A = this chain, B = another copy of it.
Amino acid sequence: MNDPAQPARADRPASPDLAPDLGRHILNPRCVAIVGASDDLTKTGSRPLRFLDVAGFGGTVYPINARNSVVMGKQAWPSLTALPEVPDHVFIVSPSQTVPGVVAECVSMGVPVVTVLAGGFGESGAAGEALRAEVEASLAKGSTRLIGPNSIGVVNNRNHLMLTANAAFAEPGMPVGGVFVASHSGSMIGALMSRGRALGVGFAAAVSTGMEIDLSLGEICEATLDDPEIDSYALFLESIQHGRHLRRFAHEAARRGRPIVAYLLGRTDQAAELTQSHTGVLAGENVVAEAFLADCGIARVETVEGLLRAPSLLRKLGAPVRRSRPVRAALVTTTGAGGAMVVDQLALRGGEVAAPSAKVLQQMADQGLPVSPGRIVDLTLSGTRPDAMTTALDALTGSDEFDAVIAVAGSSARLEPHLLIPSIEAAAIASPKPVIAFATPDAPDALRRLTEAGVPCTGSPETCGDIIAAAFGRRPPHAPVEPAAPGSEVRLDEAQGYAELAALGLPVADYAVVPAGASTSPLGYPVAVKVLSAEILHKSDIGGVKLGIAGDEQFVRAAAEIRAGVGQAFPGEPCDHLLVQRMTPALGEVLLSYRDDPEAGPFVMVAAGGIDAEIYADRAIRLAPVDLPEARAMLGEVKALRRLQGFRGKVHGDMEALAEAIVALSRAPRTIVEAEVNPVLVLPEGQGVRAVDAVVTIRKAADGGGDG
């Protein structure tokens, strides 16, 4: 999974002093230079100049060409240093070997931003690594920031800055709108632009971030937050890289009311292995990325169309708010099957289409619209009447029973778009609550009309469910974190681990440390007896754990067996002390863990105990810290815990104490790198929980001693 050519950059601070003008230099440069601009139309190097010309970019453009003094009919310059002024933004389209030299020039001239088209900077072996190192060394000497390499460029639809080699921008008439698109993949920029065009979704600007050897996607987006015309962000992510930058951008974007939607590749291991990946927790399973994005307040869609359709819904919703239950939508339709398709698609993603109350039905009846009670408001019998749709939408959007309202239109959306579409559009615009439209037939004109009016809509039931679930699946973003202070990592023994947990307020089963030769338990009986060692991780496997010790005789025998087992498995490893722990009957057990990830920051997880967690991937994950309501929500996500919540008449476990334990662990100080408490015993309601094992790793300041 880890690409050695693309090492983790955990040591970089989050957003190191993004220059205040960075966003302007990226998207609104007064003058740009194109290094490697070419007359040869078959060459990529000819494109940016051509595109800028056709689009009508108003700023100054300097073609740089070492051999020709005229390129595409424009005066060309032999080098950047020959220019009469320092460009705001340099686009390097020349081959990769030339890039280090040009970047060095940019740095010494004080060019604020340089974008590099060429690839071959590490993804292709040692030669590329060397080029990359040269570029990084140059950047370290000045204030120049770099986009790429392997960036297809930057496009601003407002000022016609077509600083790109992507053929997709040869097409005129791109719809201009408020969405900023950022993509790791260059080719997906073109794909998204053409798809947006077909749907009538307008873009403010777009950037392909490539290898991110300097500016990360999160930093570039953050730099654009001062652009008042950008009202939302659509991100195409190959993996979550530079997680702290993304957190910081997301937090700031939420503060300013700019929603973010992301499509993230690598939902499966097969796809994850294809994308550049980093070390750390975010390189791992999809469920972690899912939690990370949700806790950044980023809506994660699972359909490509959703990436383009979600912004309008997110703009209506504004910043994410905490919800104590899944999204609940009302649905009004002129076609039962069309409605049922959307019900399925939303329910598959954890949401609910809910029946209107008798009160809401009465409101409709009072307005002359009798509707049968049920999960969906089916207007089929009333016919395809604008006033019926308006009455229904008014009643549903006006009720506080729903988070959103879905309007489903049948054949009329295609054949008689004047019938229902204006009603839906008007209701959607007038309502503070989002109205999402779904059309069952192919109805491009109706959908384009709604899109242009800012009404979220789609012709795909899957996208409809997707964008609603994604938009309401966001949580208020966590504050950004700086990386933890550097230091060496030290794994603690079980007793030291308990001390850390207890200090956090996490209940630990009674325990005592005794010399390995002790002949009695200081805690009475029954107890568990275990080897005490920071080095031995799988104590049970080597006979280092004896459970259910009921008296002195068993105690002495257990101690002897443990010493023998350790001596055999780890010759030379001292076995001076044993940990004695009170045996506690419990209803069940769970796994709690915490990890301060260098890229993403601290995470907390609760999982089914035993092998269920592995077999069913049954767990809940959040960025830490979490509060009590969020911890309770986590418990609701772990299916195995239903067994402890009165499932089939069983005794209730102390879920509240478990939630409190999650909160306690999630508040670990940054000195704790990792803590795994496996298991935590769950006792009956009112009797709490108890940690009965702990592996804790702490970070010690560099001068704070050895590494254990």
Contact = CB atoms under 8 A, between A and B. Distances in A.
Contact of A375 (B167, B270, B302, B341): B270
A411 to B, nearest CB: 4
Contacts of A612: 612
A191 B441 contact: yes
Interface in A374-433: 374-376, 410-412, 414-416
Contacts of A339: 274
Interface string A194-226: 110110000000000000000000000000000
B194 A442 contact: yes
B337 A236 contact: yes
B167 A267 contact: no
Interface in A332-347: 334-341, 343-344, 346-347
A639 B444 CA distance: 44
B340 A271 contact: yes
A241 B116 CA distance: 60
B195 A275 contact: no
Interface string A270-284: 110111000000000
B275 A340 contact: yes
Contacts of A539: none
A277 to B, nearest CB: 12
Nearest to A124: B381
Contacts of A615: 639-640, 642-643, 647
Interface string A612-656: 101110100000000000000000000110110001100000000
**How many copies of the chain does the oligomer comprise?**
2
A324 interface: no
B265 A167 contact: no
A414 B167 CA distance: 10
Interface residues of A, number: 77
A456 interface: no
Contacts of A461: 304
Given A187-B410, A191-B411, A639-B616, A340 B265 contact: yes
Nearest to A187: B335
A274 B380 CA distance: 14
Contact of A340 (B274, B340, B343, B460): B274
A238 B340 contact: yes
A462 B190 CA distance: 19
Contacts of A304: 341, 460-462
Nearest to A273: B375
A187 B340 contact: no
Nearest to A616: B616
Nearest to A462: B303
A184 interface: yes
Interface string A454-485: 00000011100000000000000000000000
A119 B616 CA distance: 46
Contacts of A444: 198
Interface in A152-198: 166-168, 170-171, 183-185, 187-188, 190-191, 193-195, 197-198
A82 interface: no
B344 A265 contact: yes
Contacts of A683: none
A334 B275 CA distance: 15
B411 A168 contact: yes
A599 interface: no
A293 to B, nearest CB: 16
A263 to B, nearest CB: 8
Nearest to A183: B337
A570 B285 CA distance: 53
A441 B347 contact: no
A353 interface: yes
A352 interface: yes
B188 A338 contact: yes
A185 B341 CA distance: 12
B414 A185 contact: no
A493 interface: no
Contact of A611 (B166, B334, B353, B647): B647
A343 B191 contact: no
A94 interface: no
Interface in A225-273: 236, 238, 265-271, 273
A299 B347 CA distance: 22
Contact of A188 (B193, B374, B440): B440
A453 interface: no
Nearest to A275: B340
Contacts of A270: 343-344, 346-347, 352-353, 375
Contacts of A337: 183-185, 187-188, 236, 238, 265
A197 B273 contact: no
Nearest to A338: B187
A191 B611 contact: no
A340 B263 CA distance: 12
Interface string A72-91: 00000000000000000000
A348 interface: yes
Contacts of A236: 337
A348 B267 contact: yes
Nearest to A193: B441
Contact of A265 (B194, B341, B375): B341
A148 B353 CA distance: 29
A352 B270 CA distance: 8
A305 interface: yes
A444 B444 CA distance: 13
A337 B191 CA distance: 11
B441 A267 contact: no
A168 B611 CA distance: 55
Contact of A376 (B166, B168, B274, B441): B274
A348 B272 CA distance: 12
27 contacts: A167-B412, A168-B415, A187-B411, A190-B411, A191-B440, A194-B414, A194-B441, A194-B443, A197-B442, A236-B337, A267-B344, A267-B348, A268-B347, A268-B348, A270-B343, A270-B346, A270-B347, A270-B352, A273-B375, A274-B374, A274-B376, A302-B462, A304-B461, A611-B643, A611-B648, A615-B647, A616-B639
Given A168-B415, A270-B347, 14 more contacts: A168-B414, A185-B336, A187-B336, A187-B338, A187-B411, A197-B442, A238-B337, A269-B347, A270-B343, A274-B336, A274-B375, A274-B376, A304-B461, A615-B647
Closest 7 CB pairs of A and B: A185-B337, A268-B347, A271-B344, A191-B440, A187-B335, A194-B441, A198-B442
